[in-house]
Amino acid sequence: MKFFVDTADLDQIRELAETGLVDGVTTNPSLVAKAGGSFLDLIAEICRMVHGPVSAEVTATDHATMLAEGRKLAKIAPNVAVKVPLTPDGLKTCKTLTNEGVMVNVTLCFSAGQALLAAKAGATFISPFVGRLDDVGSFGMALIADILEIYNHYPMIATEVLVASVRGPQQVIEAAKLGAHIATMPPSVVHQLYRHPLTEKGLETFLADWEKTGQRILDSGEAAALAAGKNG
């Protein structure tokens, strides 16, 4: 499974990109507004940090303007994925951009029927919002299972299922078990995936036992050189 990070915060993207765990980035108008600054410049900088797809969302609702915005966004960098809403105009825009060789992320998907339409329109990614479905008493992961079942019946469908609106690590695990291609998550969820109380407890025990030996892997000179390099 590929991991995308759902944020427009450059510092958080840079930190996670350095781990090698980030395969792409998703943004939306709300995240961009929170980050502040020029939208186009922000997307360009994220594209320089991350080699994988970077979703940049159009803000228009009619086909002609969506298409103009999508083409402008696609010119920022080769790894821009233009994000369009799952509406008739959005799918029309998706088809046109896909035919022009642009990656397209169709967002705000809440049904398997919508996902099927997006695939027929040539979407690179379909973004079902599992967290928002859970919020209204539905089961978001059931939608992921339905979409994957449908897509798997048709080998000609190349659309990847990008699980969105992820609220916690368990949704990432459930999505992976179902075989979803991608999960996009806020940085906080990526950090939660690292953590387990037994890992922390085990590390504390190992370090305490090692301290009792009085040994060091790096001698004092090597440790000083390393510290100087970090500070420099």
Only one residue has tokens 């040994």, namely 215
Residue 83 annotated as catalytic: yes
Reported for 200-207, long-range contacts at CB under 8 A and 24+ positions apart, including other chains, are none
Residue 154: partners with Cβ closer than 8 Å, 6 or more residues away: 119
Residue of 83, 95, 177, 212 with catalytic role: 83
- How far from 29 is each of 11, 26, 32, 193, CA to CA, in Å? 18, 11, 5, 26
| d(C-alpha 114, C-alpha 124), whole Å | 14
At 137, list the tokens. 């008493």
Q: What are phi and psi of 79, to 5 degrees?
A: -95, 15
Return the closest-CA partner of residue 53 out of 88, 109, 104.
Answer: 104
Residue numbers annotated as active site: 83
